[in-house]
RNA sequence: GCGGUCGUGGCGGAAUUGGUAGACGCGCAGCGUUGAGGUCGCUGUUCUGUAACAAGAGUGAGGGUUCGAGUCCCUCCGACCGCACCA
């Protein structure tokens, strides 16, 4: 690699990124080219990439993300917009505490050290960022304003306290994040995790469920799949809520079902292990207690609950079927029923729910079909097949166990409506709309987060901290040698007078979920030094974010929480009207992947190898000649040795090459595979473009063909950028550069074309573009030059080639004037040799002419 | 388990959104430049087939709608992502 590097700089005529790039970065700084200014004469444009977590090193994925944002920012600036393109750090979170535990030191030092290091790595990319607006969420100036927001939200009833389950490590005596639970065990202690109930703070996001759902429709510039995922996450459903009377006269069991039409197929009533009734039984029945304790082992994730083995315990209680008091159903405690959804109790209908069927098979409970396919010939019923029958709700089926008064041939939806209407008219149940969306638990039993600004007083209860006492700053003198939250054992920080009565009281030691930090940072960027969370005038000018760019992994939580916060900030006076949906357009970009090279050791285990240790052509290890297995397009991971470090790439080729590469090949929403040969190709191309410009003479000559190429290039590259088709813009730029190179035009015409080429490339490879611009005598900085405009008249072609299909297969083609009437085209088509031959004297059955596109002769 | 996405040459991918499949790049082959290698320049490159044409096949598999399907619908196979305390 080093040897190659020498070659890459040695020739005088070569473009030297190493000296050129810092030169132009300095020029931009001096010109304050990227300072965001409120300019009443210009339209504004706010482009934002999801801010990074300061892990310590930038990742090639960051390069891709920020390069895309930078292309948009630079492009919009040259189109005359006043651009806001800020950068900050999502700086609270567990890794800082983990580092403190693993290697000592303080989370604060670790975090700020990482921020400095990452900024150092990011700067050479030449991003058009307004660094004067930079902040980290762990700055007291930021989280203090977040505490002020919290207090206002508390005042507006958007925050409240209730009990909820957490993962509890019984050995380390600490709360665990889902990530820290591995196969149901604590990651450090290896002890089986338990679920434990704690009183925690919640944002009342479910109160906005209906609005958060209906507003999705208006998000025209969001990816359809993100909107669909959000809709499903909010999960609106219509169903029936009713009670099962207990045979022993105890408190009735309230259930909620979206399929009340299958009530005649009920075979048991199931309750969650966390249901109040389960707790009641637990107290008196030791076997039940044992079972419930078993259920509480393992994590709290939906995935763990739903993929685990379905277990149940027969409580011995029975309930009466609402439509037939003689019919008694057993009550089971079942581990797959979530307390958080509906009422925490269900009735099981095994014929039409796979989970219920598995459960009933296991515990030998009856299976009763309530409906079968409309035409049930050959249908094997769930009673005997082991497969539940779950057709779409809009499909017509035949009911065999129906509620009185229902047409046996109807859709699931009709049957549900009928069941609800019947229950309501008979008075034993009510139709209800429910959401899957749960309130957002924001309490974290950890140090490195934003302190929740409340005080617990024995006399006054939970008391909000006074705003003038904000920020409630994290104490620095903490240690991480034992697990748990150091704030809990920090008496001088924890002990504080009650803001209300002044008596000794204790601070809340829980801190906020880091998702809170990232739910409003976009608003803070509009006025990052304001003494209030936002400055309403600045927010009014800059909001909304015109283009937001980030990973698909944030499709649900971060975006939903931000949508909630924008509304909450509107209600508490921190954002102006019209910012309820803070992100006008969203783009979710794919990952940068890289091949994994692996061999096997004697025991058959995988051994991974660095790309530079592998002979790429023969796919063998350079040292031993051993054959290497290549796994393409894998997510980068240190342990798999397939990580590409952007710093190395920039050192070797320069930032422009890295930027050009991550935009090439793959569409931005898809993954792109990093390959050494691809990076090399990008580097070679940039060198070729430089040579194209380097030895051009001037001249007064013109060339129409080249002008046409130029107009087409402007048009297509612009469309590519506007539609996030960066790979297509890149392909067009290759074509345009090739066309210039091969053109026989004189130096004057070529010079004009190369200047446009530099402009079109400037959002992607800004340093090279500046160098060419300066070399060709362009005025000022290309970063501040106006975007070129295509000459419309040159875009139109005089004649077009129309392919002729015969019976749908391409057989010939004709050249016709672009504006030739359809009838004339038909005549020309019928006169084509291939058509005459195929017709063999007959007439075509049909002749289809799609103007400007295609001709199809049907014989 | 629930929800979502994707599948096109040797490889990454393009296809004006139902209208010439394979743009552009990599790789490979040949030629030129060079003392040689690299660089650089030119030409070719879906597969079968042919001396070359011709001709045929072809977008994970199977079926359907249509004058026309990579694109729309159904079934199947495979890969990937999310699931509320990772950021």
Residue-wise DSSP of A634-650: EEP-GGGT-PPPHHHHH
User: What ranges make up the beta strands (E) of A671-760?
Assistant: 672-674
Which position has the higher pLDDT, A824 or A127?
A: A127
Q: What angle do CA A540, A146, A483 make, to 5 degrees?
A: 150
Q: What is the pLDDT of residue A717?
A: 92
The model's pLDDT over A396-428, given as tens digits with 9 standing for 90+, comes to 888 888 777 888 888 888 889 999 999 999 999
Q: Can you tell me the distance from the alpha carbon of A749 to that of A739, in angstroms, rounded to the nearest whole number?
A: 12
Q: Can you tell me the distance from the alpha carbon of A30 to that of A3, in angstroms, rounded to the nearest whole number?
A: 36
The region, left, alpha or beta by phi > 0 then psi within -120 to 50, assigned to residue A356 is alpha
Which position has the higher pLDDT, A813 or A701?
A: A701
The model's pLDDT over A737-758, given as tens digits with 9 standing for 90+, comes to 999 988 888 889 999 999 999 9
Residue A672 pLDDT > 80: no
CA–C1' distance A853–B56 (Å)? Answer: 26
Average pLDDT of A112-141? 96
| A736 neighbors A760 (Cβ within 8 angstroms) | yes
Residue A214 pLDDT > 50: yes
CA–C1' distance A640–B44 (Å)? Answer: 39
Q: What is the pLDDT of residue A785?
A: 95
pTM of the model: 0.90
Q: What is the pLDDT of residue A161?
A: 94
The closest nt to A91, taking CA to C1', is B87
| A244 neighbors A347 (Cβ within 8 angstroms) | yes
Q: What is the pLDDT of residue A6?
A: 33
Q: Which value, in Å, is the radius of gyration of the alpha carbons in chain A?
A: 33
Decide: helix, strand or coil at residue A780. coil
- Pairing mode of beta strands A547-551, A44-49: parallel
The model's pLDDT over A494-534, given as tens digits with 9 standing for 90+, comes to 999 999 999 999 999 999 999 999 999 999 999 999 999 99
Q: What is the pLDDT of residue A799?
A: 77
Between helix A655-663 and helix A726-742 the angle, nearest 10°, is: 110
Least confident span in A84-88, A157-161, A485-489, A648-652: A648-652
Q: What is the pLDDT of residue A117?
A: 95
- Phi, psi (rounded to 5 degrees) for A502: 85, -10
The closest nt to A848, taking CA to C1', is B67
CA–C1' distance A7–B38 (Å)? Answer: 9
CA–C1' distance A616–B50 (Å)? Answer: 35
Q: Can you tell me the distance from the alpha carbon of A516 to that of A441, in angstroms, rounded to the nearest whole number?
A: 10
Q: What is the pLDDT of residue A114?
A: 95
Q: What is the pLDDT of residue A795?
A: 82
- Phi, psi (rounded to 5 degrees) for A400: -115, -20
| Percent of residues, chain A, with pLDDT higher than 90 | 47
Average pLDDT of A632-646? 71
Least confident span in A1-10, A276-285, A436-445: A1-10
For nucleotide B23, give the residue with the nearest CA to its C1': A731
CA–C1' distance A617–B7 (Å)? Answer: 27
What ipTM, to 2 d.p.? 0.90
The closest nt to A616, taking CA to C1', is B27
Decide: helix, strand or coil at residue A58. coil
| A545 neighbors A221 (Cβ within 8 angstroms) | no
Average pLDDT of A106-112? 95
Block residue for tokens 């049907």: A858
Decide: helix, strand or coil at residue A612. helix
Nucleotides on chain B that have an atom closer than 7 A to a protein CB are 1-5, 11-16, 19-21, 23-28, 37-42, 57, 67-69, 80-87
The closest nt to A167, taking CA to C1', is B85
Q: What is the pLDDT of residue A103?
A: 87
Q: What is the pLDDT of residue A616?
A: 62
Which position has the higher pLDDT, A619 or A222?
A: A222
Q: What is the pLDDT of residue A634?
A: 67
CA–C1' distance A444–B84 (Å)? Answer: 14
The closest nt to A731, taking CA to C1', is B24
Average pLDDT of A309-319? 89
The residues facing A168 across adjacent strands are: A175, A194
Block residue for tokens 């240790």: A613
For nucleotide B15, give the residue with the nearest CA to its C1': A728
DSSP A231-249: HHHH-EEEEEEEEEEETTS
Q: What is the pLDDT of residue A166?
A: 86
- Phi, psi (rounded to 5 degrees) for A353: -155, 120
| Percent of residues, chain A, with pLDDT higher than 70 | 95
Residue A575 pLDDT > 60: yes
- Phi, psi (rounded to 5 degrees) for A661: -65, -45
Q: What is the pLDDT of residue A660?
A: 92
CA–C1' distance A643–B60 (Å)? Answer: 30
User: What is the CB-side half-sphere exposure of residue A449 using CA atoms within 13 A?
Assistant: 26
Q: Can you tell me the distance from the alpha carbon of A740 to that of A754, in angstroms, rounded to the nearest whole number?
A: 8
**Mean pLDDT, chain A, whole residue set:** 87
Average pLDDT of A35-55? 93
pLDDT band at A3 (very low <50, low <70, confident <90, very high): very low
């Amino acid at each position: 690699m080093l040897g190659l590097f020498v070659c890459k700089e040695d020739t005088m005529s070569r473009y030297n990124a190493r000296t050129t790039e810092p030169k132009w970065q300095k020029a931009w700084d001096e010109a304050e080219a990227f300072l965001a200014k409120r300019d009443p004469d210009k339209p504004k444009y706010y482009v934002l990439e999801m801010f990074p977590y300061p892990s310590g090193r930038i990742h090639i994925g960051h390069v891709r993300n920020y390069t895309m944002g930078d292309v948009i920012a630079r492009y919009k600036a040259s189109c005359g917009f006043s651009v806001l393109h800020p950068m900050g750090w999502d700086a609270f979170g567990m890794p800082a505490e983990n580092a403190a535990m693993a290697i000592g030191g303080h989370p604060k030092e670790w975090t700020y050290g990482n921020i400095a290091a990452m900024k150092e790595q990011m700067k050479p990319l030449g991003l058009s960022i307004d660094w004067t607006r930079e902040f980290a969420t762990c700055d007291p100036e930021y989280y203090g304003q977040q505490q002020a927001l919290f207090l206002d939200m508390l005042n507006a009833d958007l925050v409240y306290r209730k009990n909820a389950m957490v993962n509890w490590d019984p050995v380390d005596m600490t709360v665990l994040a889902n990530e820290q639970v591995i196969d149901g065990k604590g990651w450090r202690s290896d002890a089986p995790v338990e679920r434990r109930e704690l009183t925690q703070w919640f944002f009342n996001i479910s109160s906005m469920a209906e609005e958060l759902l209906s507003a999705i429709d208006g998000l025209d510039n969001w990816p359809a799949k993100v909107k669909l995922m959000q809709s499903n996450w909010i999960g609106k459903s219509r169903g029936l809520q009713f009670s099962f009377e207990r045979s022993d006269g105890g408190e009735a069991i309230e259930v909620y079902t979206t399929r009340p039409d299958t009530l005649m197929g009920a075979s048991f009533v199931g309750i969650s292990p966390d249901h109040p009734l389960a707790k009641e039984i637990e107290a008196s029945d030791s076997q039940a207690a044992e079972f419930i304790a078993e259920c509480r082992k393992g994590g709290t994730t939906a995935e763990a609950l739903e993929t685990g083995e379905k277990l149940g315990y027969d409580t011995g209680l029975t309930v009466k079927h609402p439509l037939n008091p003689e019919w008694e159903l057993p009550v089971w405690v079942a581990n797959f029923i979530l307390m958080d959804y509906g009422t925490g109790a269900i009735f099981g209908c095994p014929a039409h729910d796979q989970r219920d069927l598995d459960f009933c098979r296991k515990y030998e409970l009856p299976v009763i079909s309530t409906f079968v396919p409309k035409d049930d010939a050959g249908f094997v019923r769930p009673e005997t097949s082991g497969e539940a029958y779950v057709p779409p709700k809009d499909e017509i089926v035949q009911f065999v166990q129906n509620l009185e008064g229902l047409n046996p041939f109807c859709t699931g939806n009709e049957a549900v409506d009928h069941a609800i209407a019947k229950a309501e008219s008979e008075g034993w149940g009510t139709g209800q709309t429910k959401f899957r969306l749960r309130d957002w638990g924001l309490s974290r039993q950890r140090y490195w987060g934003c302190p929740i600004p409340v005080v617990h007083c024995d006399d006054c209860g939970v008391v909000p901290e006074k705003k003038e006492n904000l920020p409630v700053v994290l104490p620095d003198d903490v240690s991480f040698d034992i697990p748990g939250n150091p704030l809990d054992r920090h008496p001088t920080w924890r002990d504080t007078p009650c803001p209300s009565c002044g008596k000794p009281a204790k601070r809340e030691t829980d801190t906020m979920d880091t998702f809170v930090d990232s739910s409003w940072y976009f608003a803070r960027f509009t006025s990052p030094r304001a003494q209030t969370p936002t400055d309403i005038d600045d927010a009014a000018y800059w909001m909304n974010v015109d283009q937001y760019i980030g990973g698909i992994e944030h499709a649900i939580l971060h975006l939903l929480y931000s949508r909630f916060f924008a509304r909450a900030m509107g209600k508490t006076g921190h954002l102006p009207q019209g910012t309820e949906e803070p992100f006008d357009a969203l783009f979710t970009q794919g990952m940068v992947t890289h091949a994994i090279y692996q061999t096997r050791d004697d025991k058959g285990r995988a051994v991974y190898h660095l790309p530079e240790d592998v002979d790429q052509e023969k796919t063998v290890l350079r040292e031993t000649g051993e054959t290497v297995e290549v796994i393409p397009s894998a997510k980068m991971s240190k342990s798999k040795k397939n990580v590409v470090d952007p710093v190395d790439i920039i050192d070797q080729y320069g930032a422009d090459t890295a930027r050009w590469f991550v935009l090439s090949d793959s569409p931005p929403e898809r993954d792109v595979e990093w390959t050494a040969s691809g990076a090399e190709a990008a580097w070679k191309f940039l060198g070729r473009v430089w040579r194209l410009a380097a030895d051009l003479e001037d001249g007064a000559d013109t060339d129409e063909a080249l002008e046409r190429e130029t107009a087409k290039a402007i048009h297509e590259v612009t469309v590519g950028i506007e539609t996030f088709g960066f790979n297509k813009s890149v392909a067009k730029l290759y074509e345009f550069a090739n066309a210039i190179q091969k053109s026989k035009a004189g130096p004057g015409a070529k010079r004009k074309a190369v200047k446009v080429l530099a402009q079109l490339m400037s959002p992607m490879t800004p340093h090279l573009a500046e160098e060419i611009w300066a070399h060709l005598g362009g005025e000022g900085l290309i970063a501040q030059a106006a975007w070129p405009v295509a000459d419309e008249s040159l875009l139109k072609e005089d004649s077009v080639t129309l392919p002729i299909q015969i019976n749908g297969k391409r057989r010939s083609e004709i050249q016709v004037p672009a504006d030739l009437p359809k009838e004339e085209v038909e005549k020309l088509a019928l006169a084509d040799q291939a058509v005459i031959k195929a017709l063999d004297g007959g007439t075509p059955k049909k002749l289809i002419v799609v103007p400007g596109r295609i001709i199809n002769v049907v014989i």
